[in-house]
Structures are given as C-alpha cells and as structure tokens.
C-alpha cells in the first residue's frame, strides 16, 4: 500500500462557473493554481503549464499565435499572471532552422528572448521548447509522485503501457532542453491519438484542446496511476520494518541534540538553517529494511536531486539501543566522509567547462527511528528540500513495491547539477544579506525594543525566535513579522525567563524550529520604583529574578548551544543607563541592571576562547512602544520628577545632551551592529544609546 495521503484519489476541482468568462490566459492561470495546490501532482516549483493563444500583435495589429508558458523560476501553485512568459509561436518554430544539433542545444536558450511577445519581461524557462513543439493548444507538464514511481522503475516502459495502453506514451530519459522538445513533437506526430507521455526518470506530459480538458486529463491519468499502485503495491512499505519508531517526544529530543552539532559541522562556508520532519512517510522509510540501499541510490526526478543533492546522509543511530552520545561522537567523521565522497563524485564526472565544486555537504540527514533533518541556506530552502525528499520517498516506495527502483545515472545527475544554465541562474541570484542563515532568539520579543530588534535582524535575513510571556502580544508580533518577511523566518515561544524549565524548553523549541542558534538578544525586562525603605523583599527579588537571574538562565542555555555548535556565538544584553548611573527611588532596578552588566562582562571573558562575544546596549527612556513605560512606572517616574506623565518624553529629551528622544529602532540598530560581523572584534563592550548622558559615560 502507498501511504494514506498518496492512496487517496485526486479530486477534480475544475469549476465551470468560475471558469466562465475567463480569457484563455486566465484559464491557464486558474488551471495552473489548481494543479499546483496539491504536492502529489507536482512538487514546489516543479512542472509547468502552457496555452497557445491567438492575440493581436502590437506591431502589426494582426492576430498571431502566442505561447503562454510558466516562466523561469516560478511555481504553478502560486504563480500569478506576470509569472508567465509569452512568445511568438512562429518565431519559436523558426528556431528549428538554426538548431545545430543536440551537442549545441544549450545555445538555443539564448534565442528564446528574441521570440518574446509584447515586451514581456518574464524570462522564458529551459522547458519552453517542450511546450512549444507539442502540437496541442493546452499542455501540462507535472512531476506527480505516482507517475515518477512508474518513471523511476526499472521496467518503466513496460509498466506505462500496462497501465495506460496506447493512451499514454513513453520516452527514455533525456535532459530537459531543446532536443527533448523535438522528441515530444515527433512523438505527437507519430501518435496523434495519445493523450500524454511519461518521461523516464522525470515526469508526465499531458495535453488537451481546451484548458479544462488538459486539466481533467492530468488528474485522470495521475488517478489511474494511484489506483494501479493501490491494487499492485500491497506488500509492506520498503520491504518491511527493521527498526522501531521512537515516541514523538524522544524523536524531538534527539533531533534537538543532533541539529546544532550537524549545523556547526557544515556551516563553515555559509550559515545554514535546519528543518525537522518526522511525518509518517518519513518514519516508514527511516525504519525500513531498505533505508540504506535505497538512500544510496539517490533520487530520480532532476528537480528532486537539485534540491536534495544526489543522495542523503544516513546518520549512524540505532533506535533499538539509543545512544545519542555515540552518534554525536561519530558525526564529524560521517560528515567528512560524505564530503570526500561528494568531492570524488565531482572529480569523476566533471567536464572541462564545469563550474567549480559547490558546497560538498549533505542537505538531507536521515535518522533511523527518528526522522529527517534538512539544512540549507535559509529556512524556506530547508523546508522545501524536505518536501522534495518526501516526494522522492513516495517515488521509491511506489517503484520498489512493484519493480526495482532506479536512480538517475551519476553522469546525468552531475550534468544537471553542474549545468552551465543552472550555474548562470545561481550567478544571477542577489548577494546574501548580512545575517542570512543566522538564527536569533530575542527575549521580550513582543515588546517595543524586542520587536524592533527582531524586525531589524530579519531585515538583514536572520531567522528570529520571539520569546515572551505575553501570549497575545507574542501572537500579534509573530503575525506582523511573518506578514512582512514570510512565515519561514519567524517563530515564537512562550518563555518566562525566570523559570529554568521554561527557558530550557523554549530554547529546545527554537532548536527544533531552525536547527541552531547564533544570536541571543536578552531584552526581557521590567522597571519598578520605590524608596529603599518602601522596597519590599518581593519587589527586590522580582527585579533580581528577571534582570539578573533571567539573563543568567538564557545566557547559560545559549552558551550550551554555542558550545555544541562550535561556531562561535553572539549575546547582546539590553541593560540600562541605570546600570551605570544611580537614579532616585529605584535601587532594586538600578542594582539588578548593574548585576546584568557585570554578568555580561564575566560571560565575555568566559566565552572569548570559543569565539562567543557578549556586549551590552544601554538605552535610556525609550518610551514609545514599551510595555515597561505604561501604567505605574510612568506615573512613578513622573511623580519622582514632580511632573505630568505627558511631560515625561519632553523631560527626557531636554535632559539628554543631544536633546533627542530615543526610540526602539535606535536601540535595535545598536543591537544589530553588535550582533553582526561589523563588530566581529568587539566583546565586553557597552554601547550607550541614550542621546548623551554624562553620568553614564563608561570608563
């Protein structure tokens, strides 16, 4: 049996009511979004759709045939109208006259911009000729798990004809490009009644006379494959289970231990972000007898291995006799061996004009009985790589259940991975931001300074975990930041920094979310005001608990992670002018802030040998957006200075040397400086951001 979600048939979601009145390009968009909404039909970014439409030529006013086809780098599930490229069909056909043969097929990509219709700036993809030369008005190219399972079986041609008869043809493996477009055209000319074709080791092409017919054919053909697997693939998944599955809490606990260590070992070139997946499809694979042999074969569909590397690393861990210490001790060698194997693969397969070897580290780490860990340059890429490997698992499950699974031949895989056209795409990517791949945890993350800091770090590409005790504010902050920067970049954890257990579990959740930690911004705070003779022990302890003990607890946890990661680390404390300068009627607060500053100095000393930097930002009177500066404290301060609360902001401004108000964004800027490589050679420092206050000059 295929797993449950793969076993269910695809629903036909076409709605005539919705499609009525749509133009052909609108129907193409509608069909594309429907197809891409289900990962069983095609993986993220994979596959493409097209329509050949008659349009008025802006130059001549005559009606001409135009190919609308998904442009380079798009995703059919989320594509919008501007994601399609548009090209003159007569010019695309004219390209045949200048084609010099398969060994020159890559040069044809350079001619595609010459075929652009209506100055459309969307670049045409490498797959454009595949759509142009199929002599049908509407063409779908998908990467469905159930079809690739057939396409990646040893006898895929035979299986295709057994399941689909003459309706669906079969073409041997061929790298997508100009030549494959000509093959498809020839196939259609020789088989005018065929409704589609399976491409070996790759995916499916289907077509129709209308957008609806193309869509329904695609769904029908995939459903037929799913149904066939339901009746034929009835044995145990992957030849049966040979290892136990650990309980969910144990799986998470082991992932939290492994992820920072792996991250540290593979992040020398660029910081990486992790993703953990222990879904049922993954667990079936990582507990099976076939785990090692199938993983070694690598993935099949080109899209799959471009995202997951040619093969995963199977971590040496025995769920029957769990010994994480032993696994951790073996990781450096296992990862070094993977890198050496990758370098050997590069050397074996490279050609005279191949680009230089890229990062030789694995993307996918399979942990028997536990799940799958993926690492990439950012969270979205790590998450999508995991999705792709789940696609690959589904493919292996189907193929190995009915036949023998075959990965793509090594040289073919290499030629795609190091394709000069792929390299050109990589070269066009924008330069990474200054904190790309970095992971930060900000305590008091839902408040004024905390949220401004998270915003500043995310602006520079960091992933941020917001930690706060205010559940409502936390939710609002996460929503705000994920709307601005994308869901993948932000998580939140409820954390009372005075509770040892809450701090440990909050950092654990952060590890599970992103795989490590680079930056701790300890910012949670409070402020109280009372004459010393009126300061209760409870009030004194509250200040000490949050501002001294709380800063100790979060730093200790961060240090533990930094040391297991072995990649340095960065701590920024948000203290206060009052940690250096005495203030009337606030002895508990001022003393606790002084303790906090001295803790930072001690930690700077202790962390230096491990490249862990610890610095302090001292704000003063940041009223806007602050939860501290509401209610009591504000009234008490106003009373201490014998003024109205509304006069406070002006009072602080006038009191400062520069006569300026200090805002959360000003503090965030200093924190960003200390958390970034701009301050790589600074530790044990205090940066005052208080608009100037002679009393708090450091000395």
Annotated active-site positions, please?
589
Number of residues that bind Zn ion (CB under 5 A): 1
Residues 535, 536, 541, 543: what is their CA dihedral angle, to the nearest 10 degrees?
-30
Residue 203 or 274 with smaller CB distance to Zn ion: 203
As measured in angstroms, the least distance from the Cβ of 130 to Zn ion is: 8
CA distance 466 to 458: 12
- What pairing do the DSSP bridges indicate for beta strands 203-208 and 138-142? antiparallel
- Residues numbered 267-286 forming contacts with Zn ion, rule: CB under 5 A: none
- Residues 302, 290 contacting (CB under 8 angstroms): no
Structure tokens at 460: 């520079």
**Closest distance of CB 495 from Zn ion, Å:** 44
CA distance 545 to 174: 66
User: What x/- string results for residues 108 through 127 when contact with Zn ion is judged by CB under 5 A?
Assistant: --------------------
**196-204, 359-367, 396-404, 419-427 -> range binding Zn ion (CB under 5 A):** 196-204
Residue nearer to Zn ion on the CB measure, 301 or 572: 301
CA distance 149 to 163: 13
End-to-end CA distance of the chain: 72
Tell me how long the chain is. Answer: 699
**199-207, 325-333, 432-440, 481-489 -> range binding Zn ion (CB under 5 A):** 199-207
| Sequence-separated contacts (24+) of 652-658 with Cβ below 8 Å | 652/620, 652/621, 652/623, 653/691, 655/693, 656/620, 656/690, 656/691, 656/692, 656/693, 657/691, 657/692, 657/693, 657/694, 658/691, 658/692
Minimum Å distance from CB 48 to Zn ion? 7
The stretch among 202-210, 222-230, 524-532, 674-682 that binds Zn ion (CB under 5 A) is 202-210
Q: Which among 71-79, 197-205, 583-591, 631-639 is the span making contact with Zn ion, rule CB under 5 A?
A: 197-205
CA dist 659 and 540 (Å) reads 33
Tell which positions 320-379 bind Zn ion, by CB under 5 A: none
Q: Using the minimum distance from each CB to Zn ion, give the nearer residue, 143 or 397.
A: 143
- Determine the Cα–Cα distance for residues 503 and 497; give it in Å rounded to an integer: 6
Strands (E), 412-547: 439-443, 463-468, 490-494, 519-522
Q: What DSSP line would sit under 163-205, residue for residue?
A: HHTTSEEEE----SSHHHHHHHHHHHHH-TT--EEEETTTEEE
In the bound state with Zn ion, the residue whose beta carbon lies nearer, of 67 and 261, is 67
Q: In the bound complex, what is the minimum distance in angstroms from residue 129's beta carbon to Zn ion?
A: 13
Cβ atoms of 51 and 24 closer than 8 Å: yes
Q: Following DSSP, what letter does each residue of 228-285 receive, concatenated?
A: HHHHH--S-GGG-B-SPPPPHHHHHHHHHHHHHHHHHHH-SSS--EEEEE--HHHHHH
- Give the residue with the Cβ less far from Zn ion, 136 or 634: 136
Answer for the pair 648, 638: CB distance below 8 angstroms, yes or no. Answer: yes
User: Given the rule CB under 5 A, which of 203-211, 577-585, 607-615, 680-688 is the region that contacts Zn ion?
Assistant: 203-211
- Least separation in angstroms between residue 388's CB and Zn ion is 13
Whose Cβ is closer to Zn ion: residue 126's or residue 594's?
126
Q: Considering only 201-209, 511-519, 597-605, 639-647, which stretch makes contact with Zn ion by CB under 5 A? A: 201-209
Say which DSSP state 76 is in.
T
Q: How far is the CB of 383 from Zn ion (least distance, A)?
A: 21
Q: What are the beta bridge partners of residue 350?
A: none
Phi, psi of 63 (to 5 degrees): -80, 130
CB closer to Zn ion, 203 vs 569: 203
Nearer to Zn ion by C-beta: 203 or 508?
A: 203
Q: For the CB of residue 607, give the shortest distance to Zn ion in the complex, in Å.
A: 49
Q: How far is the CB of 490 from Zn ion (least distance, A)?
A: 32
Least gap, CB of 204 to Zn ion (angstroms): 9
Nearest distance, CB of residue 308 and Zn ion, angstroms: 15
Q: Nearer Cβ to Zn ion, position 201 or 529?
A: 201
- Stretch of 195-203, 234-242, 467-475, 503-511 contacting Zn ion, by CB under 5 A: 195-203
Taking Cα atoms as reference points, which of 79, 146, 34 lies closest to residue 391? 146
Residue facing Zn ion at closest CB distance: 203
Secondary structure percentages of the chain, helix, strand, coil, to 5: 50, 15, 35
Residue with Cβ nearer Zn ion (45 or 274): 45
Give the pairing type, strands 612-619 and 569-574.
parallel
Draw the binding track, 149-188, toward Zn ion (x: CB under 5 A; -: no contact).
----------------------------------------
| Residue span 596-625 as binding mask against Zn ion, x where in contact by CB under 5 A, dash where not | ------------------------------
In the complex, minimum distance from the CB of residue 391 to Zn ion, in angstroms, rounded to a whole number: 12
Q: In angstroms, what is the minimal distance from the CB of 31 to Zn ion?
A: 17
Q: Are strands 519-522 and 569-574 parallel, antiparallel or unpaired?
A: parallel
Q: Is the CB of residue 48 less than 8 Å from the CB of residue 77? A: no
- 394's CB contacts (< 8 A; 6+ apart) are 2, 3, 6, 40, 145, 146, 149, 281
Only segment of 198-206, 350-358, 460-468, 632-640 that touches Zn ion (CB under 5 A) = 198-206
Of the pair 203, 368, the CB lying nearest Zn ion is at: 203
Helices (H) and strands (E) in the chain, counts: 26, 18
Angle at 200 between CA 199 and CA 206, to 5 degrees: 20
Is 126 or 567 the residue whose CB approaches Zn ion more closely? 126
Catalog residues that contact Zn ion under the rule CB under 5 A. Answer: 203
């Amino acid at each position: 049996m295929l797993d449950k979600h793969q076993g269910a048939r695809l629903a036909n979601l076409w709605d005539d009511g919705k499609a009525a009145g749509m133009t052909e390009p609108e129907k193409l968009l509608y069909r594309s979004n429907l197809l891409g909404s289900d990962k069983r039909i095609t993986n993220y970014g994979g596959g493409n759709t097209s329509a050949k439409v008659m349009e008025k030529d802006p130059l001549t006013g005559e009606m001409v045939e135009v190919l609308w086809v998904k442009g380079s780098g798009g995703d059919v599930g989320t594509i919008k109208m501007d994601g399609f490229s548009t090209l003159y069909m007569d010019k695309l056909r004219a390209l045949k006259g200048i084609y010099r043969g398969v060994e020159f097929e890559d040069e044809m990509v350079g001619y595609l911009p010459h075929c652009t219709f209506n100055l459309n700036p969307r670049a045409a993809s490498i797959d454009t000729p595949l759509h142009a030369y199929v002599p049908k008005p509407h063409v779908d190219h998908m990467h469905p798990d159930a079809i690739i399972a057939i396409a990646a079986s040893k006898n895929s041609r035979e299986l295709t004809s057994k399941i689909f008869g003459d309706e669906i043809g079969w073409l041997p493996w061929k790298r997508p490009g100009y030549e494959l477009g000509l093959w498809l055209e020839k196939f259609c000319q020789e088989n005018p009644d065929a409704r589609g074709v399976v491409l070996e080791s790759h995916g499916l092409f289907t077509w129709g006379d209308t957008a609806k017919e193309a869509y329904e054919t695609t769904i029908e053909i995939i459903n037929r494959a799913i149904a066939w697997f339901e009746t034929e693939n009835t044995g145990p998944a992957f030849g049966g289970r040979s290892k136990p599955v650990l309980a969910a809490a144990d799986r998470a606990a082991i992932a939290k231990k492994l992820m920072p260590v792996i991250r540290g070992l593979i992040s020398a070139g660029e910081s990486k972000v992790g993703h953990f997946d222990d879904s049922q499809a993954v667990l079936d694979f990582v507990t099976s007898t076939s785990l090692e042999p199938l993983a070694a074969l690598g993935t099949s569909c080109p899209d799959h291995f471009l995202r997951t590397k040619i093969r995963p690393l199977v971590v040496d861990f025995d769920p029957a006799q769990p010994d994480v210490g032993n696994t951790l001790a073996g990781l450096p060698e296992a990862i070094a061996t993977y890198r050496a194997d990758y370098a050997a693969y590069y050397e074996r397969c490279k050609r005279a004009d191949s680009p230089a070897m890229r990062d030789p580290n694995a993307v996918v780490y399979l942990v028997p009985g536990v799940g799958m860990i993926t690492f990439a340059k950012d969270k979205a890429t790590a998450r999508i790589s995991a999705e792709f490997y789940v696609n690959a698992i589904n493919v292996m499950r189907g193929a190995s259940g009915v036949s023998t699974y075959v990965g793509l031949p090594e040289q073919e895989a290499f030629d795609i991975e190091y394709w000069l056209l792929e390299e050109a795409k990589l070269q066009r990517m924008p330069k990474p931001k200054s904190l790309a791949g970095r992971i930060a945890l900000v305590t008091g993350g839902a408040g004024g300074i905390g949220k401004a800091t998270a915003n500043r770090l995310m602006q520079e590409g960091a992933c941020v975990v917001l930690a706060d005790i205010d559940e409502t504010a936390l939710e609002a902050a996460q929503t705000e930041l994920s709307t601005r920067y994308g869901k993948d970049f932000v998580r939140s954890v409820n954390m009372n920094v005075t509770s040892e257990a809450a701090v440990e579990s909050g950092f654990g959740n952060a590890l599970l979310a992103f795989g490590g930690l680079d930056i701790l911004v300890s910012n949670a705070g409070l402020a109280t005001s009372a004459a010393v003779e009126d300061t209760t022990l409870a009030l004194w302890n509250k200040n000490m608990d949050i501002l001294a003990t709380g800063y100790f607890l979060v730093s200790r946890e961060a240090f533990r992670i930094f040391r297991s990661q072995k990649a340095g680390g960065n701590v920024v404390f948000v203290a206060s002018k009052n940690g250096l300068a005495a203030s009337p009627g606030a002895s508990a607060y001022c003393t606790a802030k002084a303790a906090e500053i001295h803790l930072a100095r001690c930690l700077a000393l202790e962390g230096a040998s491990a490249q862990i930097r610890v610095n302090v930002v001292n704000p003063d009177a940041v009223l806007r957006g602050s939860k501290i500066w509401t209610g009591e404290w504000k009234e008490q301060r106003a009373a201490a200075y014998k003024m109205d609360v509304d006069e406070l902001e002006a009072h602080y401004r006038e009191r400062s040397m520069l006569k300026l108000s200090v805002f959360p964004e000003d503090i965030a800027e200093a924190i960003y400086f200390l958390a970034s490589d701009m301050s790589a050679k600074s530790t044990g420092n205090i940066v005052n951001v208080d608009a100037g206050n002679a009393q708090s000059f450091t000395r």
